[in-house]
Structure 1
């Protein structure tokens, strides 16, 4: 009887996995029979929000002319001021090396402003990264010839939890980052993930947390305003019914096995005492 319980528990997940249909695991089910076609997509760009952290770097043909628009820390190795920025050095800015420049970031305050060198207070909330670049360039080129302006959204992070192979916080380095990108960064969903009910949670302007459900079986998800993710979004992949039932079954049978084990142990102790008393 005891052995039969163990065999049943070990076989249960295998039986459930076998019941998972191909449709449950497939993406974009509604175009599986199409050889070619086009899919409408959402037109979306990240917009700067209050509390965002921005890194802004200005360069030019004459580095000394653009230095006044950059805020940097002293070199952590030598303690001296960092050298002038050149276009060639921009590629190493985002590295963590102790020998590369350490640029201070700008945090967007509750009013949506940043305090930028020379130009003073600038209202940036609601702008896209490209719009901010263009605005800064238009202001800086009044004093600097052919300025190059680089803007990075430092705090673009997305949390992915639930039924994915590697749940994690993803640090985003591109301006467009989709739900597909997020799942790919986490090794895709497990076979237990509900592909027709992925939940995106997003902070709203009034401070509340909104949510939206995406169906990854259907290509209409590409037109959703939640297809492209925003900073601090949470992606939750819900477990399907198989995983939930399997978990409940394992918990129940784990309890039963524990109870049976305790009873057997107690019976063994009692039997030993009876034998000992009988021998005496």
Structure 2
């Protein structure tokens, strides 16, 4: 009786094992915070301290001053638009930005109140400065100051890349990814690039690893206005593209068939 070679069987098992291991490896790459252990009780994890962002030249502020003088109140607040929450839209669009733009000298000109310097202050500090100025004209004015253009941009391997104008200032890198609809399966979670512009009109970059819990305690966990998040693709994106994957399997099958035929006839 002719002895049957086990070579084809070994080749098939090897091919299936390779694909299975590749699938398991791909699943691990999709997980966030991989070093957090599963336990029966909650384990405290330290998180970065939040620091209020400071006002910079070219920022746009919504400055509302309510007084007992209706005409003065209307004049001061006329430049403030109605904010539209862009987080609910995939485009990240919002109403045209209105408000008081900080000039190159760091100040703004407010009707009735005059010129006020606000650059370098947090919105809380700016509120007190504007209120102090308003006390020269009105009794017990109520002042609110907030960013109108607190914008972040998320690009790369996310489901909804866009620029987002946000209604609040305390925004983390996880919030940004959430606004963008999470990373795609091809997003590289170990190498998230943060691009931040400094006050002297320069920029620096920081790499963040979302598979490690240490990112929660990073000084760059909370974002600043005009930050850009770039999610680079995994090297396997090209390979796992539908057309390329079919070509990949076709090449394997062709090579496998050639080896079997060569083993049998030669």
Helix, strand or coil: the match of 1:134? helix
Give the distance between the partners of 2:101 and 2:60, measured in 1 at CA: 4
Correspondence for 1:166: 160
| Alpha-carbon distance, 1:246 to partner | 3.6
Q: 1:207–1:247: structure 2 CA closer, same or farther, 3 Å change rule?
A: farther
**Counterparts of 2:138 and 2:78, CA distance in 1:** 17
Show the counterpart of 2:186.
Answer: 192
- Pairing 1:200-279 to 2, within 5 Å after superposition: 200-246=194-240, 250=244
2:55–2:119 CA contact under 8 A, matched in 1: yes
Aligned to 1:54: 61
Give the TM-score, by structure 2 length: 0.71
- Tell me, in whole angstroms, the C-alpha distance in 2 between the residues paired with 1:61 and 1:28: 53
Residue by residue over 1:148-202, the C-alpha shift from the partner in whole angstroms, topping out at 9 and shown as x without a partner, is: 2122312221111111111111121101111111111111111211111100111
Q: Distance in 2 between matches of 1:164 and 1:16?
A: 25
Aligned residue runs from structure 1 range 36-115, under 5 A: 36=42, 37-60=44-67, 63-64=70-71, 66-67=73-74, 69-72=76-79, 93-94=82-83, 105-115=99-109
2:116 pairs with 1:122: yes
Give distance in 2, aligned partners of 1:23 and 1:227: 23
- Please, which of 125, 141, 145 is the counterpart of residue 147 of structure 1? 141
Q: Tell me if the contact between 1:158 and 1:234 (Cα under 8 Å) persists in the aligned partners.
A: yes
Dislocated runs of 4+, deviation >6 Å: 14-17
The residue number in structure 2 matching 1:277 is none
**Match of 1:150, SS?**
strand
Q: TM-score, normalised by structure 1?
A: 0.68
In 2, the alpha carbon distance for the partners of 1:61 and 1:218 equals: 54
CA separation of 1:29 and 1:252: change in aligned 2, threshold 3 A: closer
- Segments of structure 2 that go 5 or more residues without pairing to the other structure are 1-18, 86-95, 251-266
Q: How many residues align?
A: 221
Q: Retained in 1: the 8 A contact 2:72–2:112? A: no
Distance 1:23 1:16, change over 3 A: closer
Q: What is the root-mean-square deviation in Å for CA atoms of aligned residues? A: 3.3
Residue 107 of structure 1 and its aligned partner are, at CA, apart by: 1.2
- Whole-Å Cα distance in 1 between the matches of residues 99 and 192 of structure 2? 34
Q: Which residue among 160, 178, 181 is the counterpart of 2:175?
A: 181
Query: Closer, same or farther in 2 for the Cα pair 1:39/1:117, shift >3 Å?
Result: same
List runs of 5+ in structure 1 lacking aligned partners. 1-13, 74-91, 97-101, 257-280
